[in-house]
Amino acid sequence: MSHTLGIRQAQKQKTRQALLDAALRLLEEQSLSSLGLREVTRAVGVAPTAFYRHFRSTADLGVALVEEALGSLHAMIRTTVSPSGDSEERIDRAVKLIARHVDEHPAHVRFIARERHGGVQPVREAIGDQLARFTEEVRAELAKDPVSAGWSDEDLMMLAHLYVDQMLSTASLFLETPAEDGEERARVADLARRQLRLISLGRRHWNAE
Amino acid sequence: MSHTLGIRQAQKQKTRQALLDAALRLLEEQSLSSLGLREVTRAVGVAPTAFYRHFRSTADLGVALVEEALGSLHAMIRTTVSPSGDSEERIDRAVKLIARHVDEHPAHVRFIARERHGGVQPVREAIGDQLARFTEEVRAELAKDPVSAGWSDEDLMMLAHLYVDQMLSTASLFLETPAEDGEERARVADLARRQLRLISLGRRHWNAE
DNA sequence: AATTCCGGAGAACAGTTGTTAACTGCATGG
DNA sequence: CCATGCAGTTAACAACTGTTCTCCGGAATT
């Protein structure tokens, strides 16, 4: 069904992507609420008015960036939490996956961390929606896991929330640690593993007393 | 030693505080990196140039706001984590304390959550420093607690980090929930208590196997 | 081949920004 | 009581902002 879209729409999507890329780049050293439309178009090398052909405002562009940054992450999340293998190696796999993702998409991760509580309401809401979807997906995976089988929905959501928070916190820590400083990175990974281990421990004893 | 400071310095501190208050107010609907100096002085009713008598830039003002928002919080943190009373009532006390603090200083909490990963480096660093101090203080308290007595320093820091993250996450959730919606607030409090309970459970079994 | 559509350019708008300089009036210290 | 210090003012600057309207050229449609 992918009808090789005409050279017209192709060009449009190309400049649209250029705008998104330039914005993401500029957002590494400022927040969305201070990002100017002219600033973005200037970086792309296009007239200011061209911006309006793609986005109503910078807030609108921000929402599009949320999709780009989080939209494709669902599959990865699910495979991370899915119960396969020993607990210890699952933890190790999860931490490595987070580190890899941060290294491959640092600007995206920074954008989400920054705008999650940022000054632009529609963007905050878009991020909140996506994170809620993540949490729900983690909850669904946890329900399958024998360790947390038969838990109440409140308990499952509590645990899912804890895992998502942990993931974001760890990603943010990796982001703040330059990739060259292998020693510090190792310390962050170690911290994350210990925390996941403690949560996993609390999980196993949750209904045992 | 508090030599009732002259009517001159008193006036200065008064407008300085007015600038801080106005800025905090404006920052409820935007982030620091988009806060203009003229915007602040206009809100106070003072000439733009007067700003320079107090701060070098808005980033400088932001750092001052960090002190105001977090500087006085250390004592509270310590008493919250300190081991006194049953585990369950300690958890309840901590959650109530967070809720109360958010209700009394919502703008401060919002500011910290927003600028922790915000676009202004000096402010990010100031917040990071304060949070590191908090984490260290929590670690020191945990070392006294019989439940985590004899733990390694890495383990203690791991747990302290977990508690501080938890505290911030809960505060942010309270902030997003309007104070009138008692039902939703109760759900947030319930979630926070369950999470603390699970962490506490993992804590008790940490070195038991 | 003729016509419509539309992404982008260009120019102009009123309003905003940070920063500079030189000033005024009043509390302060000698 | 007089001279100094200094918080705050006024005026002006070049640079920047979002938004509107008009136009152009080439792809898409008929």
- Which of residues 137-176 of A have CB within 7 Å of strand D? none
Report yes or no: B153 and A157 within 8 Å, Cβ to Cβ: no
Residues in chain A: 209
pLDDT of residue A81: 80
- Provide the CA B12 to C1' C27 distance, Å, integer: 12
The reply to whether the CB atom of residue A34 sits less than 7 A from any atom in nucleic acid chain D is no
Please, are residues B59 and B33 in contact by the beta-carbon 8 Å criterion?
no
pLDDT for position B2: 46
pLDDT at A184: 98
Distance in angstroms, CA of B38 to C1' of C16? Answer: 10
pLDDT confidence tier of residue A5, bands split at 50, 70 and 90: confident
CB-based contact (8 Å) between A132 and chain B? no
B168 and chain A: CB distance < 8 Å anywhere? no
Give the closest-approach CA distance of A48 to chain B in angstroms.
20
Question: Please, are residues A97 and A80 in contact by the beta-carbon 8 Å criterion?
Answer: yes
**What's the pLDDT score for residue A209?**
61
Six token digits for residue B21: 């208050």
User: For residue A98, which phi and psi values (nearest 5 degrees)?
Assistant: -65, -45
Q: B205: which chain A residues are within 8 Å (Cβ-Cβ)?
A: 201-202, 204-205
Q: Is pLDDT larger for residue B3 or for residue A60? A: A60
Give the single-character DSSP code of B145: S
- The B 34-53 residues near strand D by Cβ under 7 Å are 46-50, 53
pLDDT of residue A72: 86
Q: Does A161 touch chain B (CB under 8 A)?
A: yes
Alpha-carbon distance of A123 to A33, in angstroms, equals 10
Give yes or no for B142 touching A (CB within 8 A). Answer: no
Alpha carbon B146 to chain centroid, angstroms? 27
- pLDDT for residue A1 is more than 70: no
Given a cut of 70, the residues of chain B with pLDDT beneath it are: 1-3, 209
Average of per-residue pLDDT values in chain A: 95
Contact B108, B69 (CB under 8 A): yes
pLDDT in tens, A148-174: 989 999 999 999 999 999 999 999 999
* The two three-digit tokens of residue B202, written as one number: 């993992």
How many A/B residue pairs have CB atoms within 8 Å? 102
Q: What domains lie within chain B, and their CATH numbers?
A: 7-55 (1.10.10.60), 68-204 (1.10.357.10)
What is residue B3's predicted lDDT score, i.e. its pLDDT? 62
Q: Comparing A32-41, A113-122, B73-82, which segment has the lowest mean pLDDT?
A: B73-82
Contacts with B139 from chain A: Cβ below 8 Å = none
| Min Cα separation B29/chain A (Å) | 6
Q: pLDDT at position B85, please?
A: 84
Q: Give per-residue burial for A144-161: e unless 16+ CB within 10 Å, then b.
A: eeeebeebeeebbbbbbb
Token readout for A137 is 């997906």
